[in-house]
Structure formats: C-alpha cells, structure tokens
Amino acid sequence: MTTKTMNRRKDIFSRKMVYLAVASALLPTAALAQEDAEAIRELTQAASEIEIGLGNVGRDSFAAGDYIGLKNKGPYVIGNIDLVGRDPKSADAWRITGSNLGLSSRNLRAEYGQQGNYRLSLEYDQLPKYRTESAKTIFNGAGTNNLTLPSNWVGATSTAGFTQLNNSLKSMDISHERKNYTLGFSKILSKEWDASVKFRHETKEGSKIVGAVIGNSGGNPRSVLIPEPIDYQTNEIEAKVGYATTKLQFQVGYSLSLFGNSNNSLIWRNPYTYTATPPTPSGWVAPAGFPNGQGQLGLPPDNQSHQLSASLGYNITNTTRFTGTLALGRMTQNQTFLPYTINPGLTVPTPLPRSSLDGKIDTTLINLALTARPMPKLNLRASYRYDDRDNKTPQAQYLFIGGDSINQVTTLASNRARTNLPLSYTQNLLKLDGDYQVAARTKLNVGYDYEEVKRSFSQADKTTEDTYRIGLRRSFSEMISGGVSYARSDRRNKGYADTPFNESYSAQYIATLPAGTRWDDHPLLRKFLYADRERDKFRFSLNASPHEMVALQFRADYNQDDYKNSILGLTKTRSESYTVDASVTPKQNLTLHAYYTSDNYKSNQAGRSFAPATRLALSTPLTSPNDWFNTSDDRIDTFGLGFKVKELMGGRFDLGGDYTYSYGLGKINTTVGSALAAAAPIPDLVSRFQSLQLYGTYKLQKNATLKLSLLHRKLRSDDWGWDSVNPNTMANVLSTGQLSPNYSDNVIGVSVSYKW
Amino acid sequence: MAAIKIKSLLQRGWLTMLAACMLSVAVQAAVPTLSNAPVKKDAVLRGDATCTGCHDADDEFPVLAIGKTRHGVTADNRTPTCTSCHGESDTHINKPADAKERLKPDRTFGKKATTTADSQNSACLSCHQSGARMNWQGSQHQSADVPCAACHQVHTGKDKVRAKATQPETCFACHKEQRGQVNRASSHPILEGKVSCSSCHNPHGAVGPKQLVKNTLNETCYTCHTEKRGPFLWEHPPAREDCSNCHVPHGSIHTPLLKARAPWLCQECHLAQNHPSTAYSGTGIPPRGAAQQVLANGCLNCHSQVHGSNHPSGARKTR
C-alpha cells in the first residue's frame, strides 16, 4: 500500500469517527436512521434515468451521418432512457433502455423477469448505412428490380456517344438500413438446468451500386454502374439447454437462420447499341443492343442454415479440465434458376441442366481441448480441431451465355461449357502449448501447432503448416511489466495444379488447346491462400508506471509473410504497428491521456502480361520482359488526445474532451518489364479524419443534470478511383460520377437528464 | 448522497466538532450507549455489515453499488455474499496485533491485485463456468493471466464492458492496433456503438479462430451478412473458404474493408490471358487514361458477383 493510500485511508477512518460523533450528537436517532436508510437506498438500488434534449447538425452529409444517423442538416431529438424497476424483497425486475431515440441509429430494449427464474426480453435496433449522395444514374426505377431508360435515350457503342447523357442523369441516394427485432426468453429450470430461446427478425432495405455488364469476352463488355435494390429479411431462432455443476457443464443447442430476398434479379435496359460492324462491340448479336436488349443480374438467393451443437466442459481434477464441442450444420440454397439470358431474341437451344441448384453444404466441427496444471508452475494445453465443410451440391454442365449478349454456343468444345465446382474443405488442427513460471513474476510460453487443410477442386489439394511459438512475460515490478513473443510458421502445399480449370472447363474444350497451354491462370502463379508461405510474427509490449499518477504503454506488432516460392502472385506482405500510450492523473479529479499509433502494411506482387499469341512462350521462363511488379504501401497514423475533469464548481461540473486524428496514405506503384508499355505513377489515396468532441455536465440539482456536447468532425479524402471519373470518363463503363467522401460538420447537443 | 453529507459536515470546522463531541457526551447519557446500540444491519448482501461498516461510498473501495447489480439480488438464492468472492478474510477484518497495517482480504480483484489471476477467476468461475464461458480454460485471455476484473467492474451499476457504446474502451486498453484500425475510413460501426468487439469475439474463450463467437470465421460474418452465405452455383473459392482472404475486419483505407485495392487485389489470384494479366498503372487514371479495370469499382465494374453467383450464366461472376 502506498503512503498516499495509507494516508487517505487514515483520513477516511478519522472522518468516519468524526461523522459518527457529530451525527450521533446532532441528529435525533430516528432521523439519523431515516437519512441513513435513504442514503443506503440511493447507493444500493439502481436508479432510473431519462435524458431529453435537442441537437443540431451543421450540414447535410451521408458520410458524416453514416451508421449514427446524423445525416441531415438541422435539429434532432436527443433521447436516452434507462428505466428500472425492482422489488428489493423479491427478484422481480424490469428494465427499459433506449439510446439515440431521436436518430435512425436508435435502440430500444425492454426486459422483464425474476432473477434466478426467468427473463423475457424484447429489443429493437436500427442501423443506417449511408454510402453516397453524389451518385447519378440515367435509369428510371432506381431502387426497384427493373431499370428502364429515359424515353428519349439515344444509344451508342460507347459512353462518348451518349448524347442524352447529361439530360438524363438523375441523383440517387445510395444507402440502406437494418432493422432488428429480437425476442428472447430464458428460464432457470432447476439448480443445474437452464434453457433459453431467442428469435431475431432483421430487415435490410435500401440500395447499393453494382456493376452490370453486357458482353461475352474481354474485348466487348459494355457496363453500367446501377442501383441494386436491397430488400432482405433474415429470421433466426437459437435455442439452448444447459446443465452446470462445478464439475460438469454441458449445453446443447439448435440454431436456424433463414435468409430471404424480395428480389431474385435485377433487370436493366442496355443503353449501348449493337453495330454489326466491328470493332465495337464485336461478338454481340443484334437483340442484345439498344433499344430492346436487356441484362439480368442474379441477386443473392434465399438460403437456409441449420446447426445442432453440443458442448461439454468437465473438470477432471481441480487442475485438469476437458472441453469438447460438436456442431453439425447444413447450409442449403435451392432458389429457382434464372434463365441463361433475359433477352428473348437470343437463341438458347440447350436448356438448363437443372431448374435449381439444390445446394447443400454439411458442416462438422469437432473441438477437443485439455488443460492441465500438473505442477504449480506449469500449465499445459492441448487442443484438436476438425472443421469439415462437405459440399454436396450436385454438379452439372452449363452452357452459359456471356452477359446476355450472344446466342448460346451449343458445342461442348467451347469455353462456354462449364461445370460448377462444389468446394469442400477439411481442416485438422492440433495445438500444444505450455507455460512455465521460470522465475518470480516471469512466465515462459512455448507452443506448437500443426495444421492440415484439404480442399476439393482447388489448386492445392492439401496444405500443411507447422507453427512454433515462444514468448516471455514478466512483471519486473509493480511498476514495470512487459512481454515479448515470436511465432514462426511454415506452410507447404503438396503439389499445385490448375485443377479448377481441368474440372470446370469441358474436356472437349481443353482438347482444342495446344499442348502446354491447357491452363487458365499462368502456371507460375501461386494463389496466396495455397502458396508456400513462411510467416513471422513478433510482439513486444511494455507497461510502465514510473509514478502512481502516470501510466505508459508501448506495443509493437510485426508480421511478415514470405511467399518465397511464388514467382507470380503475391510474393511478400509485411505489417507493422507501433503504439505509444500515456495517461496521467495529476489530480484525483483530472485525467489526461494521449496515444499515437503508426501502422504500415506493405505487399509485393508480381504478374506477367500475356495474350493468346504469347501464351505458350511466356508460360515457363522464370523471368520475362513481360513481367510487372506492384507494391502497395498503406501508412496510417492515428493520434488521440483526451482529458476529463470531474467535480469542478463545487462538485457540480464535469468536463471532458477527445481529439482524434487519423491520416491514411495509400501508395501504389507499378513497374513493368521492357516488353510492356511504360507504366505511369499512381496518385496517392489519402484520407484525413479529425474529430474533436467536448462534453460537459452540470448538476442543476440533486437529480437533474444539464449536458452539453460539441462535436466537430472533418474528413478529407482523395480517391482517384472516383474523384476524377465522370459518368462517361470510361469508354465502356457508364459510371455514377460519385465522389469520395469529404465533409466538415459540427454537431451541438443540449440535454437534461433526470434521475430518480 | 452520504459522501456529500459527510463533506459538508467536515467543512464546519474543528470548533463545531469540539462542540459536537461535548454535546454527544450529554446526549448519550439519554440514549443507549454504543455498546448497547443495535448491531448494524446488512446493506445489501447477507452478512455484509462486517464489510460495509468500513467500505461505504466514501471509502477507497466502495462496494455498496453491488446492490444495483444482479449480484445484489438476495431474493435470488444463488446470489453470493462478500466472502463468497473475497474469502473469509479474518486477518483483514481483525488486524493481527503484530501487523503494522491492515492486511488485505483473502482474495482481491483487478489487474494490479496481489491475488493471482487464476485465484481471482476461480471465484467467478465457481458460478460462471458454463455457456459462453465454458472454454475459458486454455483461452488466450486465460493463458495471458487476464483476470475477469481486468475488464469487468462488479461493484458498479453499469459495467462498461457490457455496454456496446463503452465496451471498446476496455478492449482498446490492450488491443491498441485495433483502436487505430477502427478510426480508418472504412470500418464496422464500432465507434458509433452499434457493433461491439463482443459482437464478433467471445473474450471468454471460443472454439473458433481469434475467439470468434461462431465456430468459423465465415459463420461469424454470416450472422450479419446472411446474403453471402449461399451455397452458390458458381462459388468464389477465397470467399467460400474465408472472408478474410480479401477483407479485414477492423478497418481499412480501401472501402469496403478490403486488404488492398482492385485490380491488384484480384490479380493476386487472377492472372489469365489478356486483361486479367495486364499491368495496370497510372496510365489508366485520368488525365493519362481511363481504364475500366482500374477506375470506380475496378474489376467489379463487370465481375460484380465476387461472393458467388447463382445465375446459370454467372461462371465469370458477371451475372
């Protein structure tokens, strides 16, 4: 115990003695008892609180209002409630809480129950997502599943020819909103048994931007960015029964999730014109073009997920515990297929092989773990995990039509004949860990993992990974503690081949390709999720309290993935994060804190540019003048500063403030080999976010508090992907003209909260 | 509040106190003596008078707010007493004659407590070992000797780690990297208080990777993003296997929560002839050019169905 603490305790004890003496002398015994009882009641019983007020948003901005609902300029209602009722003599209780009640991010929850017996809860939650207000479209019917062109639209083979473009562009708000309704009931059945059931209904409504293309090969796509309607419903039920003693605990449960989409497709009229004369858009057939041509996108299909689970925990001895989990699940999807094409003018001689997918993935999860402390200083942990996703979706061959633009190619010797690949996955993971207290306040940890992953229809049927870990944690003293750890992983694939190509494309088509070119992606490419990889992870932390009023922290994280056998593809990534934190409490009622985090993520990748004519020649050399290299370098600096002062002005006034600054810089650079056209620099991606919040509370009277909040937020972003891109900047993609988010916004709020 | 009353009384000064003491002697002649006074009542829990006699609201360790919590509902016969968690603490209650200062209770809680994390947690686990806490033993937080009380405040009406809006403050005390990430341009609504760390993670230990609430990463993501669950006719392998192949969970400068920017993100795996293998650079960006694979949504301007397509003509994820 520090000297200061001892003094404070002495002080408190002496105050109490004085209080007792004074109080017992001055106050009649009955009055004292009554006041005591009142004071005890206030200190021991939850109070209800209601906050109501008015806020004002300085300007309209989707980005500023994202998630929280402060989108529109003007006043809004501040409303927060926490109403409680509890009979101190029984365990009956109810509670109603609400937050952001005046905003579209509101939450309202009601709960009623008898503690130790049952509980019933009901919750409503709203979450807005505001994407952009600056997008434009030429289509009528935005927000629906059928987009039509203006009556005076004049088609063209590329965006440059759209003479009615400027006259036709209309603003559209791209946003969506989730509404969640949750009903829960739990019941204690006996001393050992309990059960619960939860039902959740969610709606998600609004729109998002989606790329919609008409075309069938890399040379003739004609795309438009269009609003995709979102009208989803999710219903979930989760039921559990549990048993618990100090020795044994288990739980069995069932969860059901049903997803429904009110729209199964999105249809749009093709604004691009067919012309029989090459070069653009060669390969189409006339009915695909303006004015009668249409495109149809499949929207997320209805699906279901079921899962039965059982988990068990058993304390074999006081120092040894076993836990096990078994979960059996099934995901299904069987929505009626859309036709190969929406355009009735296209010929489709070969019908669909099936009317729906009958998609089915059976999942099995087994997790077994044993923890033990065979000696006071030694802790051991072992676990085994089996994660199997058995995709039982039937396979069939589909003679697909490229982007609603051509007649169906019926010969199987075509790259339009494709078989679906139901991807299965099996993971076996063994983890072993041990901690040993090597000295006072010092723990050494060593660990080993072995992971094996098997996949079907994959470039790598099997990958294995060994991981070795070592770490040391030490509390040097009450004032200084820290830790350091290092992990090294080595992943290897057991052979890499273009299996998806061989399994999905028809044998007849593959036979048409010259020997040495029977592949899709370049044979030297190693997709990073299957590639050989050496991974290093390093962590360091240091906490110091040089003075009882000062706390300092330092964290360093360093991760590196080296795909050293990858000639093409991702070759290396590195992420670093360094943080310094400081908090100071110079006075009992004053706290200051500050932090700075520096993050950096770098990745290197290699590619090789090739065409049908160079396909064979460029397939084997380890280096080529057609090679290109790309580096991505994201740097993010985050700085925060804050303070809190309590009990100013005779204990009535509390004040606080927080400032956050986040600066993100994305540098991307491409360099090319001598055979390729010269590369040009890529502008930086920049985002600067600042937020300054000041808040104060003033106690008007015993139970009433005045609250004031000032919030200034500013975002400046530069994104070359959108900022200098007009709807017709790209020849073959009609874009939305939307801008990256930029705003500067002030929000002020005044409210009164009342407690009783 | 009792604390305010005490302060105001103290502020009256020594003179008042002296007078009060003298008066006290007189008054006590007419009322029962201290030794005859009724034993102080329990404030909240059975037998807590022993503790609350000292640990009232003005104490360094105020405890009375336990009454505002579920731990303070004595009508529930499972409710513990002070000693259920802190131990009998005889030497704390009755200071040994040879002790210079009062000894601490048998079991104290918190990050800086002298009681070991295992011993602290055993008190909590004696009741809370089932359900979502079944896998506490062997979990990352248990292995790192994190006591429950490092995150949870028991003697308060509102435990801030259990409220969505305030929970990240607790988690970010250690998880500094994630604090920086959630401030990036693209993130989940964590700072807005609509998604909390525990919406995705179970800090008490879980079967899934990274202590996720569901058994796999994708199952966790599907709890909110059910439309991406499929199964689809044309699967996109990295999406079917693990969402984090392309996305990061906490924050990114590449919307929406992407690891990198298209087209290069896509080209990490797609290197087929013609445009998938083409080198893209500033030549495709205004004023130098306008490449449809680079601007706006990049590859997704045409191949928009990156989470999988169920359209019979969607083999190339364009339908």
User: Distance, in angstroms, between B87 CA and closest chain A CA?
Assistant: 18
Nearest by CB to residue B75, choosing from A91, A234, A457, is: A91
CA pair distance B102, B54, nearest whole angstrom = 12
Nearest by CB to residue B231, choosing from A393, A603, A634, is: A393
Q: Is A418 helix (H, G, I), strand (E, B) or coil?
A: strand
Residue A521, token pair as written in the block:
């992606």
Nearest by CB to residue A400, choosing from B180, B292, B315, is: B315
> Which chain A residue's Cα is nearest to B188?
A67
Instruction: With a cut of 60, say whether residue A506 has pLDDT above it.
Output: yes
State whether B287 and A672 contact (CB < 8 Å).
no
Please give the span between the terminal C-alpha atoms of chain A, in angstroms, as a whole number: 37
Give the pLDDT band (50/70/90) at residue A721.
very high
Residue A168, token pair as written in the block:
């036709």
Which residues in chain B are closer than 8 Å to A338, comparing Cβ atoms?
Answer: 311-312
> Which chain A residue's Cα is nearest to B60?
A9
pLDDT (tens, 9 = 90+) of chain B, 319 residues, equals 444 444 444 444 444 444 444 544 444 444 444 444 445 788 899 899 889 888 877 788 889 999 999 999 999 989 999 999 999 999 999 988 888 888 999 999 998 888 999 999 999 999 999 999 999 999 999 999 999 999 999 999 999 999 999 999 999 999 999 999 999 999 999 999 999 999 999 999 999 999 999 999 999 999 999 999 999 999 999 999 999 999 999 999 999 999 999 999 999 999 999 999 999 999 999 999 999 999 999 999 999 999 999 999 999 999 9
Which residues in chain A are closer than 8 Å to B259, comparing Cβ atoms?
Answer: 603
Extended strands (E) in A58-117: 74-86, 92-99, 107-114
> Which chain B residue's Cα is nearest to A415?
B315
Which residues in chain B are closer than 8 Å to A44, comparing Cβ atoms?
Answer: 43-44, 64-68, 72
* Least confidently predicted of A20-29, A252-261, A348-357: A20-29
- pLDDT of A40: 82
State whether B277 and A338 contact (CB < 8 Å).
no
Bridge-based pairing of strands A704-718 and A685-701 is: antiparallel
Extended strands (E) in B156-274: none
CA pair distance A522, A569, nearest whole angstrom = 10
- pLDDT of A473: 94
Instruction: With a cut of 90, say whether residue A437 has pLDDT above it.
Output: yes
Query: CA angle, corner A408, sides to A404 and A414, nearest 5?
Result: 115
Mean per-residue pLDDT, A153-172: 97
Phi–psi pair at A413, nearest 5 degrees: -85, 55
* Least confidently predicted of A71-75, A271-275, A515-519, B230-234: A271-275
Mean per-residue pLDDT, A84-96: 90
Nearest by CB to residue A725, choosing from B235, B241, B286, is: B286
Q: Is B238 helix (H, G, I), strand (E, B) or coil?
A: helix
Give the pLDDT band (50/70/90) at residue A691.
very high
Which residues in chain B are closer than 8 Å to A21, comparing Cβ atoms?
Answer: 17, 20-21, 24
Instruction: With a cut of 70, say whether residue A80 has pLDDT above it.
Output: yes
A583-641 per-position pLDDT tens digit: 999 998 999 999 999 999 999 999 999 999 999 999 999 999 999 999 999 999 999 99
A445-485 per-position pLDDT tens digit: 999 999 999 999 999 999 999 999 999 998 877 788 899 99
- pLDDT of A228: 98
Burial of A50 (0-12, 13-18, 19+ CB in 10 A): middle
Q: Is the pTM of this model over 0.90?
A: yes
- Percent of chain A's residues with pLDDT above 90: 89
CA pair distance A228, A237, nearest whole angstrom = 28
Phi–psi pair at A616, nearest 5 degrees: -75, -45
Which residues in chain A are closer than 8 Å to B286, comparing Cβ atoms?
Answer: 720, 724-725, 729
- pLDDT of A193: 97
Nearest to A450 by CA among A542, A518, A386: A386
State whether B31 and A29 contact (CB < 8 Å).
yes
Instruction: With a cut of 50, say whether residue A426 has pLDDT above it.
Output: yes
**Are B298 and B262 contacting, i.e. CB atoms less than 8 angstroms apart?**
yes
> Which chain B residue's Cα is nearest to A473?
B144
Which residues in chain A are closer than 8 Å to B222, comparing Cβ atoms?
Answer: 257, 305
Using the Cα atoms of residue B93, residue B98, residue B102 and residue B107 in order, give the sign of their dihedral. negative
- pLDDT of B43: 87
Q: What is the mean pLDDT of chain A?
A: 94
- pLDDT of A84: 96
State whether B233 and A359 contact (CB < 8 Å).
yes
Nearest by CB to residue A361, choosing from B31, B231, B253, is: B231
Residue A109, token pair as written in the block:
């929850």
Which residues in chain B are closer than 8 Å to A249, comparing Cβ atoms?
Answer: 129-131, 134
Nearest by CB to residue B230, choosing from A303, A579, A678, is: A303
> Which chain A residue's Cα is nearest to B22?
A25
Which residues in chain A are closer than 8 Å to B51, comparing Cβ atoms?
Answer: none
Instruction: With a cut of 50, say whether residue A22 has pLDDT above it.
Output: no
Question: How many interface pairs between A and B have CB atoms less than 8 angstroms apart?
Answer: 479
A737-748 per-position pLDDT tens digit: 999 999 999 999
> Which chain A residue's Cα is nearest to B66?
A44
Q: Which residues of A660-671 are buried (b: 16+ CB within 10 A; e: fewer)?
A: bbbbbbbbbebe
- pLDDT of A276: 72
Nearest to A584 by CA among A541, A543, A555, A548: A548
SS3 string, A317-334, reads: ECCEEEEEEEEEEEEEEC
Residue A468, token pair as written in the block:
């070795």
- pLDDT of A280: 60
Nearest by CB to residue B279, choosing from A381, A679, A732, is: A679
- pLDDT of B111: 85
Which residues in chain B are closer than 8 Å to A676, comparing Cβ atoms?
Answer: 279
Neighbours of B111 (CB within 10 A): 16
- pLDDT of A297: 98
Mean per-residue pLDDT, A157-165: 96
Q: Is A29 helix (H, G, I), strand (E, B) or coil?
A: helix
Which residues in chain B are closer than 8 Å to A569, comparing Cβ atoms?
Answer: 268-269, 271
Give the pLDDT band (50/70/90) at residue A189.
very high
